[in-house]
A = this chain, B = another copy of it.
Amino acid sequence: MSKRLASIAPVALDDTDRALLAALAQDARQPVSELARVVGLSAPSTAERVRRLEAQGVIERFTVQIDPRALGFTLQAIVRVKPLPGQLHLVEEVIRRIPEFVECDKVTGDDCFICRLYLHSIEQLDEILSKVTERAETSTAIVKSTPVARRLPPLG
């Protein structure tokens, strides 16, 4: 089943949509009745809006945000990965298979991949990167703090 392509024209949001998305970003499990109260609409209209935003593809999904530290992932690293000649696809596959790589983007420029890693310890960093370093050069940065945690893009 192919994902729906984003329409050529971006979806235009009104103030109500923006308030709705902000409220859902804060707590996606709150009841429609509560959302309705927040945005100042009736419950059916509010439910209809949410459905429309899903159908338009603005809402990809409702999900849960996990705190990795609570699970013992005390360390976070951002690794730039530059595959050796001919190893690009294999490297991508290796990254995809290692669950500690929680995010990976393929980018322009010298470093082909930029990835985020969750780790239990500094020793584990070596352990995991060793599966990649045979096939790529890596450059690692340890996360010290997160001035901006993943947030919504501007909705205006």
Q: Taking beta carbons and an 8 Å cutoff, which residues of A are in contact with B?
A: 6-7, 10-11, 13, 21, 24-29, 56-74, 76, 78, 92, 95-96, 99-109, 111, 113-115, 118, 140-155
Contacts and interface: CB of A to CB of B under 8 A. Distances in A.
A147 B102 CA distance: 10
This protein's copies in its complex:
2
Contact of A148 (B27, B102, B153): B102
B58 A70 contact: yes
From DSSP, what is the main secondary structure of chain A's interface residues? Answer: mixed
Contacts of A73: 153
15 contacts: A11-B71, A25-B64, A29-B29, A59-B64, A59-B65, A59-B67, A61-B65, A62-B62, A66-B153, A76-B105, A78-B105, A102-B151, A102-B153, A106-B147, A113-B147
Contacts of A13: 71
A3 to B, nearest CB: 9
